[in-house]
Amino acid sequence: MAQPTKVESIKAASNALRGTIAHELAQPTENFGDADIQLLKFHGIYQQEDRDLRVSSRGPNGERPPKAYSFMLRTKSPGGYVPGPLFLALSNLCETHGNGTMRVTTRQGFQLHGVHKSDLKEVIATINETLGSTLGACGDINRNVMAPAAPFATKSYAIARETAHTIAELLTPRTAGYYEIWQDGEVVHSSETESDPLYKDVYLPRKFKVTTAVPGDNSVDLYTNDLAVVPILSDVDVLLGYDLYVGGGLGNTHRKAETFPRLADELGFVDAADLLAVVRAIVEVQRDYGDRTNRKHARLKYTIADRGLAWFKAEVEKYAGKTVQPFRDLPAWEHRDYLGWHEQGDGRLFVGLNIENGRVKDSTDSQLKSALHDIVSRFDLDLVLTPQHNALIVDIARESRGAIEAILAERGVRPIETVSLFERHAMACPALPTCGLALAEAERALPAIVDKLEKRLAELGLGNEPISIRMTGCPNGCARPYMAEIGLVGVSADKYNVYLGGRLGLTHLNKVYREAVATADVVALLDELFVAYKNGRERDESFGAFCDRVVLDAVAA
């Protein structure tokens, strides 16, 4: 009989996620031991090293230098909401204790990179003091709960936002250890207790991801989540209940057929009063039945794939003591990025800013970080981060629009009208040099590929065709490449598997077209496909649908 993994033992012996983190913080070292590295993830922290230095600083005989350790911190921001004071604090912290940049994640949080061990406590304490948290941003628990970023005043969007916050609170781990370690026991805005009746002492077999959505608005990539919650309203805006999707997830391992991306299934509909009981039951079933012997087979998608949706639904009903009713019909899903200026519906405005690969920084051409800092501080505004690693500045008074546009222009931030559709739909994970899982470049490689391809699309008269491209440095799928019309997934230092056939509405998985394509050959390969698309597409056919119909069928044949 297979034995539980080493991580399971670490969690069970962690003393409510404390481990020996506090002891190791006091040691004059730059890194933590193996057990605490695992527990730090529950606190929103990843230990990393600069892999560029591993190569560039080799000695004359090829000997490696000591590892250059640092830490990545991730905020937990349900629905992507980042209060102004928190953003200003993060903006300052990345300069004083990080690498000078922040990164918007594809789950609507912020990441700080390059934080040293000796600064961790000060950085996390500051985040908590400014209405933020890192607890539960990583680890084998529920991660950041996503929601549509657009701050529309309509009831469906308001309910989706409120539900995301409610579920986030329900699924937050109950441990005082977080506050003992990082704030010397001081609780700033939490009602944590030591008992954790949901996660117990074993937590979940692997990470768990939840999103809410508004019918028709798939800006949250709902099919890629373990659980997606969609409020259903009557014709007169009365909340009737929620449609639920379960079992989505994208991570897999190259050449391991037993691992695979999977779209979420339609579980059913629950009455509004039953939602939290059913959400809790879904997590409990995964806690008790998820695979704890193989971390590559431990997500909810495998529990459902192995045991069946009917079994899972019956267990959820038994755990919750509630009935899951037939799924309610929904409109077709479409992708919306909410970039540019928009009416909120309450007399105020919001503006969505395109952020290349989510990296908030100042450069020679564009001082995006300074622009956001100026606007948030001057106008006392908040941000909402999007699942496409962009940012919305929200609740803007009409009379402030001109001044905000002037700041953006002065700082070199491009208006959305000057950003190509191809760039708008491009995403990449951080990958090298700090991600320990990266096999290839992503964030540093995609901009050059996008520049070349968008010029070619314009030459072919396809510049007005929205085509999505996503790139990751490994198959774990942090930038969700398997949903894109073009997915580039790293397999080695300079090679990528090319996936085709996703849809802009984020409703279809793509498929492998070519394996191990060198970076230098990616543009030429896609250029050929763009030419074929121009000459062979049907009326109103998207690039992804064309590839699915023509290119992938030809490969299969």
Which residues does the annotation mark as catalytic? 74, 143, 207, 209, 429, 435, 474, 478
Q: Which residues contact 30 (CB under 8 A, 6 or more apart)?
A: 69, 116, 117
Q: Which residues contact 402 (CB under 8 A, 6 or more apart)?
A: none
E strands, 125-226, in order? 210-212
Q: Are 199 and 212 in contact (CB under 8 A)?
A: no
Please give the helix or strand (H or E) that residue 268 lies within, else none: strand 265-271
Structure tokens at 284: 């409990």
Read off the amino acid at residue 82.
V
Output the furthest CA–CA distance in the chain (Å, rounded).
75
Torsion angle of the four alpha carbons 99, 104, 109, 114, in this order, in degrees rounded to the nearest 10: -10
**Angle, in degrees to the nearest 10, between helices 155-170 and 275-289:** 40
Q: Which residue in 359, 339, 362, 363 sits closest to 351, CA to CA?
A: 339
Read off the amino acid at residue 11.
K
Q: Which residue in 397, 341, 327, 338 sits closest to 157, CA to CA?
A: 338
Q: Which residue in 355, 432, 405, 367 sits closest to 106, CA to CA?
A: 355
User: Strand, coil or helix: what is 220?
Assistant: coil
Q: Are 552 and 513 in contact (CB under 8 A)?
A: yes
* Strand 469-472 to 486-492 pairing: parallel
User: Strand, coil or helix: what is 273?
Assistant: helix
Structure tokens at 211: 């999103």
Read off the amino acid at residue 397.
A
Q: Which residues contact 58 (CB under 8 A, 6 or more apart)?
A: 64, 65
Judged on CB neighbours under 10 Å (0-12, 13-18, 19+), 174 is: middle
Structure-token match 């992804």, residue found = 544
Q: Are 112 and 120 in contact (CB under 8 A)?
A: no
